[in-house]
Amino acid sequence: MKVVLLCAGYATRLYPLTKDNPKPLLPVGEKPILEWILDKIKELKEVNAVYLVSNHPFSSHFEKWKKGKKFPWPLEVVDDQTCSNEERLGAIGDLKYVLSQKAVGEEDLLVIAGDNFFDFDLRRFIAFSEAMRPHAVIAVYDVRDRELAKRYGLVETDKDERVLKFYEKPENPSVTLASCGIYWLPVETRVLLDRYLEAGHNSDQPGYYMRWLSESDVLFAARMEGQWLDIGDPASYERANALFRKS
């Protein structure tokens, strides 16, 4: 299984913190957000390589961070060659870029947004996902608060955890299950990704592709327990640090 870390965003909502520094390298507690994610990935015996996709201005930051670090598998920084927020490829565009540039073969993919702060057990996520093969799976987290749910992309599921509907930051949410930016795409879905992009669908946010998958094929949701924050603005970044201080 290959892992793709989506770290190519420009994080303009976090300026000035991210004007000259990529968001995944912002510290939470004693280490960068990215290292919290990698510590969870280290628990997965299935992983044989990790690709970290970056924009061009920040690729050197990741290369510098990577020097001297040891991982159980190769970790490669992939520069998507974009130089501004306006020309970004988008998350799904970056995923396709990595798959083509690195000639990734017939393997399962674990895709994780690089601005995630979580303490989920990814082994449990993969076990659930394997049971849902050949269908894709997204991680979801119950924020248990309808006011808080307004900030996130939400999903509605049936009793078997099949995704029925997506809601993008609704004003009056009827559900509180937030998509966590963690996706398992089994090898059987690779043709669906190609079909999605060839049809000219939106390549920016992963949620667009996940919604399309839920409507065109089958998509399941794995409910995760623990702590989770989507670090998108200064307030959420401060909440992440506050969580760490409490632990």
Could you confirm whether domain 2-246 is CATH 3.90.1150.10? no
Compute CA distances 236 → 100, 175, 218, 230, whole Å: 34, 21, 32, 7
Cα(29)–Cα(161) distance, rounded to whole angstroms?
34
pLDDT score for 229: 82
The pTM score is 0.93
> Confidence class of residue 78 from pLDDT cuts 50, 70 and 90?
very high
**Would you state the pLDDT for residue 63?**
96
> What's the pLDDT at 58?
95
What's the CA gap between 42 and 86, in Å, rounded? Answer: 34
For residues 116 and 6, the model is more confident at: 6
* pLDDT reported for residue 244: 65
* pLDDT at 143 > cutoff 80: yes
